Each structure stands twice: as C-alpha cells, then as structure tokens.
Structure 1
C-alpha cells in the first residue's frame, strides 16, 4: 500500500509541477467531444485502455469528479486489504505500481495491469461508453457513486481554483456557466448521470449516493462489502468506517495524496451549495436536472427534493 501511495503522489506532484508552467487555455484537451486535463490524460492512453482485460472479480469504482471517489476509494482499499488478509493470509498488494484511475497513466499501463493478481481495484471518472468493453463483457462489478449536482458543482468550483492542473475561475458565476454547458473536465455531470442510468439495473452495478453514505456510513460500508462478497466482523466494519471519516482522511491527506491533499479534502459535507447558488442558478439547475434525469432510477435515488431545494 505504501508503494501504491508513492506512485499516486508522484504522478500528482509531477502533473502539478508541469501545469504550473502552462497557460490556462492549454490545460484541457478534447477527446470524443469531452474535455480532459492534459497533465493527467492523453488520446494515446485512451486508445491503449481498450486493451485492458477486465475480470469478473475486479472492483471498479465509477464516479464523476468531486462526487467522493477518494473517500470511497479508501473504503474499497481497506475492504480488499481485509479480504486478502483473511483469505490469503497476506498483506494487500493491490495495484502497487499503478495509479488507480483507469484513464490516468501511460500507454503501457494496461499491459502491466493485465499481469496483476486479483483482486484489482480501479477507479474512473469516465462515461460508461468510454470504458474498456471487457468491463461489461466480463461482468466486472461496478460501484457507481453519485452525489447531488449542486454540491458537485460547488466542490468542483473550489477544487478548480485550488489546483493548477485545471482552469481556475475568477467568479462562481463564470464557473456555473461552464458547469452547465459541458465545458468541464470529464464532461457534463447531468449527462454523466443520464448515461450511467442506462446501467443502473444491471446486476453487476451497485449505486450508492454520497449523501446516504454520510447519513449512515456503517450501513453503507456493510452494503458495499456485501456487494463485493467481502465478509466483515463488527470490529472490522467499525475500523473501516473510522479510517474513512473525513477527519481521518484529511489528517493523512499529505501522506496519501501529496500536494493534492491540500485542496482535495475541503469540507466533505452536504448542502454547501446554499452558500453559492443564486435563485436564478437554482432554477436553471432544477430545470436541467428534471429534463435530463428527473424520474430516472438515478435521479430518484439522489433525492433531489431533499438535498437540492432551498
């Protein structure tokens, strides 16, 4: 685990250093109509990614940026470490050499990943149609993490202004326009929800919301463990929950996420959007949400009326 964290922090620190030398309009590139940060992704890597050979026991975490993927990632790594300790009596060696996000790395990454032992843990911010086909063909299990769109936008705004790898914004109003008009890295969040909704009923896909995990982390972790076939004692369950609290992860962020940690763990709460959204912006988001995902399985699961109405 220590080695994988070093790989993680090295890649992030290098990307930040490169981005510090670039102009704002150079930070993103477009691939198949979606923007991505040039210091993390490349067209060559996206093309090479199709060579990944997914397995039925792979653990895939899918979530749009600022939905809580680092939080859930901590939980998943912890669960697999417990699983391997109990079933194989060894310390976890998960993806030791590879950056956990599928779309971030070099073109040789997937050939190396194909040689890694099970169980592999992978994260992604990608739309389902941009993932390697083998993930769906071979029935890899996917944990889909979603979060109310107003808090996603709020968190993404502060994150963009806090890290050099993404374009910054002088004002929240400018960011809101970009967020609502598909000018964000990894694309439009409402499109993300709409596209992933097509897979919401698949037996190999489990959806969990940021908010429900906040409200009841013990039940959330238990359900995640059950989905991936990992049995936990009550003590192990409590340990996973305690190690994944916002306070615990923020305290260890420099060690686990390098320079990224300073901006990655800001508040970790719910309803911070109320400090930024104007009445007009609320109306625009409400209308767009209803048009794109209102009444869908994911739209209903997000409890928009509870978390996104002033």
Structure 2
C-alpha cells in the first residue's frame, strides 16, 4: 500500500462528513469531543491495548499546531538517515481509523511514526511503559484557534461554524474536536522535563528549520551529517511542503498546509477576544516553562 491508500482514507473521511452539521460531526468519548468521521468508541477501546515499541517515534500536538508538517519532516529524516521509507497506508493519527488498524500496524517496520492529537491522559499507557521518545509540538493559542476555525470553514465537506463569533467561545471552553487547547498545554507542561519528552514550537520551526531538524534528529538518535540536515530542511520547508500538498494529502492538502504564517490571528480576533485569550493564557500558563517557550508576548500581542 502507498500514499494513494492514505489519500483514499482521507477522501473516505471527507465523504462521511457530507451533509452533517457541526453538532452531528462531534461525539463525546470520556468527556472529550471527537469527529465521528475518523474516530469511534470502538477504536478508542481497542487503542487502550495498543502496543508501543521502544523505538516508536511518538509525535503529539493539539489540532492545527503543525503536526502534519512535523510528520513529513520526521519521515524525511528516516528516509535520509536510515534509507527506509515509511509507507503512508493508514491515517497517521493512532486514534483515527477502524479498530483493526492496530493489528495492521504490527506489520509496520521499525521505527514507526505514531502521531496523535490525544490529550496526555488519554494516550495509551504503553507509550510511557515502553519509554518511547515523545516529541510534542505546540503553537501559540491565537494562531491555533484561527487555523482551527479556517480549517472547518474552508474544507468543502467538513461542517463549518456559522461564524468566528460562534467558534471562539467553543474553542475557549474546549467544546471543539479533541477538547481544550489549554488542558492539553497545562498537562504537557508538567512533563516537559521527562527525559523521553521534547517540546518544540511551530514558531521555532518556522524561524529556523535547520536548527529544528537537527534537534529532532538528535532527540530520536539519528546520525545525520550537516548536509543531510540541510537537505531535509530544504525539502520540508513549509513552502516546499505546501507546493506538494495535493500530491501527499489529496484534496485536503492545501487546507492542512494553507498559509503557515505566524500572526494570522490578527485578521479574526477583535480586542475583547484578544483580551479573553490573554487572560486565559495568564491563568493557565503564566510563569510556566511551556508558557515561556511559547513566547506569548512576542506572538500574541497586537
């Protein structure tokens, strides 16, 4: 199976969402909302027994924080340094797909890329037992919210929100797919110093991709030359990825790799919404290690 299979899977999910409204799109599992098109209670129940390997590369992020970009970077690193190509045969997120996918994943050669949007507390326990390396990608919350809204409203078949004004309070209260950005952040902040965890930000990768690729390679234990790091960074630069997105991700590609700019939130937020987000960030993350890493004052102040 090849990238075509992966694109077919995305196509199937989009087909399923045709004609649904936003409330029909989401279902609740253990108190968190997920999209019915790619997730199911049966899959979640089976996921609890997912067997992680020690050499799995676990990639975690809240939706719209750049994880699809990160998957391509790590894939390219594997291909460049180990000369093996990971075939995209499944939806990359472990919580998405049918319950049988975990049996199929047992056939995948190591190292496997295991991606997820799941909250720390909902991850399969084997991830921590196996001591697999976990790379967590964060993005500033204002751009994350703006990108999440646009994804819903630009994808042709995904149900949209009536307006940004309708979406914003739902995002702030965690009443969106995969739950609350802030709950996700607060919990990961507690685990930032774990030796098997590396936290990077989208903004860092945008600013200096070569340094980011080098850090990722070192974290996962790839032996990569400066030339290899540079070539991976060139091939996976946001613009390059955006140009190939239709090829790699089908119809949803241009939506997943839409603009990639930092600060796009300014086109949606009004002053009141901006202040609400500032207060929420302060309440949840002020004075924390993750809060400092997110450079909120640099990226989220008008």
Range class of TM-score, shorter chain: over 0.9
Distance 1:53 1:78 in 2: 24
Among 264, 270, 279, which residue is 1:278 paired with? 270
User: What is aligned with 2:234?
Assistant: 242
Distance 1:13 1:262 in 2: 14
| 1:298 is aligned to 2:290 | yes
Unaligned runs of 5+ in 2: none
Shift of 1:164: 5.2
Query: What SS does the aligned partner of 1:199 have?
Result: coil
Among 54, 65, 68, which residue is 1:67 paired with? 65
Distance 1:171 1:36 in 2: 20
Shift of 1:181: 1.4
Instruction: Give the alignment of 1:200-215 within 5 angstroms.
Output: 200-215=192-207
TM-score (structure 2 length as normaliser): 0.96
CA contact (8 A) 2:2 2:88 kept: yes
User: What is aligned with 2:113?
Assistant: 121
User: What is aligned with 1:36?
Assistant: 34
User: What is aligned with 1:50?
Assistant: 48
Shift of 1:97: 3.0
CA contact (8 A) 2:25 2:37 kept: yes
User: What is the root-mean-square deviation of aligned Cα atoms in Å?
Assistant: 1.4
Distance 1:192 1:237 in 2: 30
Query: Hey, which bits of structure 1, 4+ residues long, moved more than 3 A?
Result: 164-167
Instruction: Give the alignment of 1:167-182 within 5 angstroms.
Output: 167-182=159-174
CA offsets 1:255-303 (integer angstroms, 9 cap, x no match) = 1111111321211010111111111111100111111122122111101
CA contact (8 A) 2:20 2:159 kept: no
User: What is aligned with 1:158?
Assistant: 150
CA contact (8 A) 1:48 1:107 kept: yes
User: What is aligned with 1:225?
Assistant: 217
CA contact (8 A) 2:143 2:262 kept: yes
User: What is aligned with 2:76?
Assistant: 78
Q: Give the count of matched residue pairs.
A: 302
Shift of 1:254: 1.1
User: What is aligned with 2:14?
Assistant: 16
Shift of 1:208: 0.3
CA offsets 1:190-238 (integer angstroms, 9 cap, x no match) = 1110111121111000000111111111111101100001121222111
